[in-house]
Amino acid sequence: AEAFIGRMETHRRLNAFITETPERAVEMARASDARRAKGEAGVLEGVPLAIKDLFCTEGVRTTAGSHILDGFTPAYESTVTANLWKAGAVMLGKTNLDEFAMGSSNMTSYFGGVENPWKRRGDNRKLVPGGSSGGSAAAVAALLAPGATGTDTGGSIRQPASFCGIVGLKPTYGRCSRWGTVAFASSLDQAGPFARTVKDAALLLQAMAGHDPKDSTSAPLPVPDFAAACGGDVRGLKVGIPREYRVEGMSAEIDALWQTGIEMLKAAGAVPIDVSLPHTKHALATYYIIAPAECSSNLARYDGVRFGLRVPGKDLAEMYDNTRAAGFGAEVRRRVLIGTYVLSAGYYDAYYKKAQQVRALIARDFKQAFAQCDVILTPTAPTAAFAAGDKMDDPVTMYLNDVFTVPTSMAGLPGISVPAGLDGDGLPLGLQLIGRAFDEETMLRAASALE
Ligand code: GLN
């Protein structure tokens, strides 16, 4: 713990942490030593972790990357973090993120952007770590923590893992409890781990996951031995290659990397097969209706009365207005406006209802594909990490970065990003494996074959 606290302090320029909790880390590490001395070690005994600042942590300020939660210190612990502490893990601090997890670059954080520890060869410009879990991904990549938590609504674990050259896993929707995690889009949000290897990610997930009666969408299923699935035999495993993921604008390098991934799995005895996910082209448009709709409803609670920031006004309505205008950044306001628009009486059928119907078709595509294959292999993102400031003036180009991760989220399926190589500029690129619902084990088995 001391070694990682030291690195956290010497790497503040990355801006990976919003809140450092070194005293808590030392206290937890001492308690862990005491348990170990009694022979009571849990699976993560003494392992220091960085926690995305979207998980409520008892007695430690939780910001969600927003100004509106100013001064908010939860009186409760999220189920996922409580599970990690039960397994013996130690909290190093709370990591930076896009405001309310809305973004793909970490640039929408009220606390400023995070610097990706990677740089293009011969180019000193700062690059983004991806988002929204950019602080967690950068922390693990820069060895400020051996592992971290993230949340993934449309790619926020997998895309930053790809940009930072580490492993990031989004489990099946319902695998991890959402209780005590600040909500963005409740039908999509899932917690998951970042780590340097597939097996470390499996161990972290094992501790994080499990049924929780406090979240009605948490699956009442036992947690399998995820670590045992890693490194297993993939001979005969059918790997679907979806032809619709060869999107326009995807670089030749990413296509080549995808081929390399296929060859690696083939060499390990797996069998690539061509599959079709015909509604992929509608996934982004559908996601950017459903996610803002749910966000507009979830964020209605920040009214200056119950949490955090309050900016007074002459009456209650003006206090609401002033608080929300001062507390929310531009991207969050944009999403709330889109969300309330698509949910309004005159447009509900045309936008929100239609999007839900398309979502069902996207889920059906995966169901049909998984009748033929065991896992699906795709690139994680269409680009490597981009320069800070790029894509910021046009939200649509930013949204396009989620093209490969969003369909999985819409279908509630598990996905993992594994580092797969470097591009011509020396930047890491990831490949994504997608599994059947609640079959993270097969996905982990295949992911190990890519390491
Ligand atoms: N980039 C996507 C968005 O902005 C996904 C974010 C996430 O998964 N939390 O909505």
Q: What is the pLDDT of residues 107-119, one digit of tens each?
A: 999 999 999 999 9
Question: Which atom of ligand 1 is found nearest the CA of 188?
Answer: 8
Distance of CA 159 to the CA centre of its chain: 8
Residue 156 annotated to the active site: yes
Rounded to the nearest angstrom, the distance between the alpha carbon of 37 and the centre of ligand 1 is 43
Q: What is the CA radius of gyration of the chain?
A: 21
Q: How far apart are CA 445 and CA 196, in angstroms?
A: 16
Q: In terms of DSSP bridges, do strands 17-20 and 48-52 run parallel, antiparallel, or are they unpaired? A: unpaired
Signed CA dihedral, 403, 409, 413, 419: sign only: positive
Question: Which atom of ligand 1 is found nearest the CA of 184?
Answer: 9
Rounded to a whole number of angstroms, the distance between the first and last alpha carbons of the chain is 27
pLDDT at position 389: 77
pLDDT mean over 241-254: 87
ipTM (interface predicted TM): 0.97
pLDDT at 147 over 80: yes
Percent of the chain with pLDDT over 90: 94
Nearest to 15 by CA among 127, 100, 111, 88: 111
Nearest to 145 by CA among 11, 344, 317, 305: 11
pLDDT at position 74: 97
pLDDT digits over 177-204, tens only? 999 999 999 999 999 999 999 999 999 9
Is the pTM for the entire model greater than 0.95? Answer: yes
pLDDT mean over 279-285: 94
Rounded to the nearest angstrom, the distance between the alpha carbon of 1 and the centre of ligand 1 is 31
Q: Which residues line ligand 1 (CB under 6 A)?
A: 101-104, 132, 152-156, 184, 291, 402
pLDDT at position 249: 72
pLDDT at position 252: 87
Determine the residue of 53, 98, 391, 394 to mutate for testing ligand 1's pocket, defined as the one with the most ligand atoms within 8 A of the Cβ atom: 98
Question: Which atom of ligand 1 is found nearest the CA of 398?
Answer: 1
pLDDT mean over 329-339: 97
Q: How confident is the model at residue 250 (pLDDT cuts 50, 70, 90)?
A: confident
Structural domains of the chain, ranges and CATH numbers in brackets: 2-222 (3.90.1300.10)
Determine the residue of 54, 156, 295 to mutate for testing ligand 1's pocket, defined as the one with the most ligand atoms within 8 A of the Cβ atom: 156
Rounded to the nearest angstrom, the distance between the alpha carbon of 131 and the centre of ligand 1 is 7
Question: Rounded mean pLDDT of the chain?
Answer: 96
Tokens of 234: 């993939």
pLDDT at 217 over 90: yes
Signed CA dihedral, 60, 174, 152, 444: sign only: positive
Q: How confident is the model at residue 232 (pLDDT cuts 50, 70, 90)?
A: confident
Q: How confident is the model at residue 53 (pLDDT cuts 50, 70, 90)?
A: very high
Nearest to 408 by CA among 287, 290, 289: 287
Q: How confident is the model at residue 171 (pLDDT cuts 50, 70, 90)?
A: very high
pLDDT at 105 over 90: yes
Q: Report which secondary-structure segment, H or E, holds 167.
A: strand 167-170
Nearest to 306 by CA among 327, 336, 291: 327
Residue 52 annotated to the active site: yes
